[in-house]
Structure 1
Amino acid sequence: MTATMEMLQKLQKELTCGICRSYFSQPVTIGCGHSFCQACLSLCWRAGVSVSCCPECRQVSQGGEFPAINEQLAQLTELGKEFCFQLLQRTKEGNHCATHNQVFKLFCEDDQALLCGRCCQTPEHEAHKISPIEEAAHNCREKLQNIQSHLWRGLEDAEKLLVQKRPVDTWQWTISIEFCKLQSLLMSEENKCLQRVREEQQATQERLFQHQENLHDLKGKLQRSGHQPNLELLQNAKQLLTVLSQRPIPEMREYAIPGMIEMLRRFQVDITLDSTSASPSLTVSEDLKSVKAGEGWQVDTKHVEVSACHYVFAEQTFSSDKYYFEVDVTQLPQWVLGIHNSHLRTRSDFYASVFLLRCVKKKEDFYLESYPRALNHRVKGPVPRIGVYLDFQAGILAFYNVLQNSLIYKFQYISLVENITPIFSPGPPLPETKDGSMILCPAHLCTCCHLSC
């Protein structure tokens, strides 16, 4: 048995390619006498330094042409494979069925199992495809040969891609060009916006000069009125007092910044209301996503602008990083929105630890005010959706008009400590009006939903 196995190993070695270590496939023989698979030698010579160098002994072959297929060695290889297979089948233990003690002569294609004559008669193999072992082995070799050919082609393609390196370079160049175009578009929009700011500043300055001249003129009239007779003074007093009571309030300018809101939504968080923190005069919805003024909120009709505000806190607290959320105030003519330092929530000095933006309606006009700081601007109409951006590292709290894609007001360089909590107030409500709810917008709200509001 040992001598037979040694002969089998020697025969297999003679019929084996020195490159792929498998039986020859379309073998070729070079000048030094060594033989290799045609595909193996072709790939080796393309990757090597010397085209005519033997991969096994490194001897340089004479002649520059690629050797032709050695037909005799190819036939000998096929005969040798079959002989080795048969010899291995005769000498290898376990070549018979353990159940029926018969030699395996058949192969089940469905179960990929060797069968004896009695195995194929059992019910479990009755409907299966059964083939003689020689036929099944031949088919298996062909499949393996096809797989090997595909692998060689795959290796050749991979080699070409590694040599070219073109796709990566092309994508890098393409992405760089796209970013350059985006930067160019943003710079163009920035220049347009800055030009508009300069023009409006010039117009504002001219109005201020005109207002200054009017004040000088009024000052002269007041000085002259002191020398007027009593009757004439009283007749002109109403007009003078009316002019004196008029105080110009700046109007809020809207400068759209393309892509700003889309960029901020990268930091958008989903927040809910803490119903246990709500003032008794507020009503929080069951889903904790909206709040409205209740009947218990009494408003001083004589001094609406100084009426007390009642608040509800968010359940979430912020301690670091960047955060962004949006609030729908479409149903409210007046509201307050901002942040509060949570660890001071129960203290009496509430306004010492808050930053707020407030909308107030006076007659037909709307005004936006900040606390603290001195923002007091009139707006053309109510702002339906407010975006709030908080940046701990930069010390920034900013409020945005979401639908106009513009900045309303920014608190800068403020000291932000841990446990910052958003706060909300849907009022104070206007007398004899039925106000709606302040609604927290979900973080997954898509752009089309925003634009449709």
Structure 2
Amino acid sequence: MAAFSETLQEFQREITCSICRSYFSEPVTTWCGHSFCRACLSRSWTLGTAAFSCPECRQVSPVQEFPRVNGILAQLTDVGKELCSLHLQSTEGQSQCAKHQKAFKLFCEDDQTPLCVRCCQSPEHGAHKLSPVGEAAHKCRRKLQHVQSHLAKHFEEAEELLDQEERPAVDWHWMIAGEYNKLHHFLMEEESRCLGRIKEEERASQDRLSQHRQALQDLMLVLQDAGHQPNLDLLHEAKQLLGRSESVLSQRAKAVSPELREYPIPGMIEMLRRFRVDITMDPAAANPFVTVSEDLKSVKAGEGWQVKTKHPELAVGNYVLAEQAFSSGRQYWEVDVTRLPQWILGISNPSLRRKRKRNTEPWASAFLLRCVKKEEDYFLQTYPGSLDHRVKGPVPRVGVYLEYSSGTLAFYNVLQRSLIYRFYPILFTEPVTPVFFPGPPLPGMKAGPMTLCPVDSHL
């Protein structure tokens, strides 16, 4: 009996329309082999489906005409209905209570179970609502038909939405690809302008140095000739020669000391901020020289830090490491150094340094950017590296980008959206840790803190 029920269920699926989920009514079969009610297929095409396309597989029919009613399938549907009805009657006739061996005559609405007459007399069903099996089944079928009508409506809506998704009114792929293409062209134009500006400034710098060298050479020849002049002639021209010499020598600083130029890169800082990480400073670094804040987000020079050596920035006890170490991925963090005239930022590998001899330089396994104040000028220097350039003024916020796999470490002037310096490539073999150095302090100046900017902060 169970096998027959399964076969009958399979037969029911074969004679059921996939659109309305009911038995076929005037079934028609498309060229691809799928069948539907004639009215359902017609309504599906009217709702906007591409003409002569199958609602099931979406294939377009090569035959440009509405399919005819499938008479054989209509007959099979009638047979299937009759079989299902007979099977339902036979099943109802054989159903009986296992406990009392009586036929199920009533249905308990509260427990949703069929009952025989003797089951109804038990106290557990005394206060329950009971209905004849036929009446309960009729009510259930009405409910199912109501639900089925709603499902059919939602199914049609889903079909319509699916068709709209397959044939969207707006081609977003094309539009978004066009915007990215426009952005690529914009960045390429910006890159070309920036590189052109760099070449022009390099030529201008070379011309300035050439002119300065020529001025020095001319002055040297003039002074050499003056040395061979008679005493009175020499003394007569001495004031003019000394003034000219002083003027030429005063141009040396501008001609020789390079200035770090700013080349803003549109969108770079915004892109890097996708990789921002929440960093905290190691509280164990606190000592008389440096003080770490309670929230582990800032550090400043302590009152006990006295500048006594020629290179106070190399003092091991004056720098602070982050609590985090990185050995993969991409990380970006920003540091506010507005109130610090001198500072050092970068990364270090403490484990490598511990393996070296004690007399090795503290920064032998580090990559650093250093800001130094000399008189009224600020200089940015790298260790290791060749950067030693003047800047127009202090850099208020520095962005640090680390990409472990490619061995990249870059520093950015966040306010100007420009690159300061990039180390590349670095062969990382062990985890590295961010480094913070709030000094050395300048005599007579009270330096402020070096502060990690919040992950969600923006200028």
TM-score under structure 1 length normalisation: 0.72
Corresponding position: 1:299 with 2:321: no
Q: CA deviation at 1:383?
A: 0.8
Q: Structure 1, residues 324-380: CA drift from partner, whole Å, max 9, x if none?
A: 222111121110112223224343312332222111122332211122233221111
Corresponding position: 1:335 with 2:343: yes
**Contact 1:268 1:324 (C-alpha < 8 Å) held by counterparts:** yes
Counterparts of 1:402 and 1:131, CA distance in 2: 80
Given the alignment, which residue of 131, 135, 158 partners 2:138?
A: 135
Q: Structure 1, residues 93-141: CA drift from partner, whole Å, max 9, x if none?
A: 239xx69x89443452x76455676689755669x9x994143233144
- Which consecutive unaligned segments of at least 5 residues does structure 2 have? 29-34, 43-52
Residue 359 of structure 2 aligns with which residue? 348
Matches within 5 A, 1:118-129: 122=126
Rate the CA distance shift 1:218–1:372 in 2: closer, same or farther, 3 A.
Answer: farther
Corresponding position: 1:89 with 2:59: no
**Percent identity between the two aligned chains:** 42
Counterparts of 1:392 and 1:222, CA distance in 2: 57
Worse-matched range after superposition: 312-321 or 280-289: 312-321
Corresponding position: 1:368 with 2:380: yes
Given the alignment, which residue of 20, 23, 26 partners 1:25?
A: 23
**Letter of the structure 1 residue corresponding to residue 443 of structure 2:** P
Counterparts of 1:392 and 1:311, CA distance in 2: 22
Alpha-carbon RMSD:
5.0
Matches within 5 A, 1:117-196: 122=126, 132-143=135-146, 145-146=148-149, 149=152, 153=156, 166=167, 170-196=171-197
Rate the CA distance shift 1:139–1:243 in 2: closer, same or farther, 3 A.
Answer: same
Matches within 5 A, 1:294-443: 294-300=302-308, 310-346=318-354, 347-349=358-360, 350-442=362-454
**Contact 1:279 1:311 (C-alpha < 8 Å) held by counterparts:** no
**Letter of the structure 2 residue corresponding to residue 379 of structure 1:** V
Q: How many residues align?
A: 414
- Which consecutive unaligned segments of at least 5 residues does structure 1 have? 31-35, 52-62
Worse-matched range after superposition: 211-220 or 222-231: 222-231
Q: CA deviation at 1:255?
A: 0.5
**Contact 1:279 1:312 (C-alpha < 8 Å) held by counterparts:** no
Q: CA deviation at 1:72?
A: 12
3-state secondary structure, aligned to 1:178: helix
Q: Structure 1, residues 388-442: CA drift from partner, whole Å, max 9, x if none?
A: 2233443332211112211101222333331322221101112222211111234
Rate the CA distance shift 1:352–1:222 in 2: closer, same or farther, 3 A.
Answer: farther
3-state secondary structure, aligned to 2:458: helix
3-state secondary structure, aligned to 2:348: strand
Corresponding position: 1:276 with 2:288: no
**Letter of the structure 2 residue corresponding to residue 105 of structure 1:** L
**Letter of the structure 2 residue corresponding to residue 375 of structure 1:** L
**Contact 2:313 2:439 (C-alpha < 8 Å) held by counterparts:** no
Worse-matched range after superposition: 192-201 or 241-250: 241-250
TM-score under structure 2 length normalisation: 0.71
Residue 198 of structure 1 aligns with which residue? 199
Counterparts of 2:216 and 2:424, CA distance in 1: 35
3-state secondary structure, aligned to 1:435: coil
**Contact 1:105 1:132 (C-alpha < 8 Å) held by counterparts:** no
Residue 59 of structure 1 aligns with which residue? none
Residue 38 of structure 1 aligns with which residue? 37
Counterparts of 1:29 and 1:323, CA distance in 2: 63
Q: CA deviation at 1:179?
A: 2.3
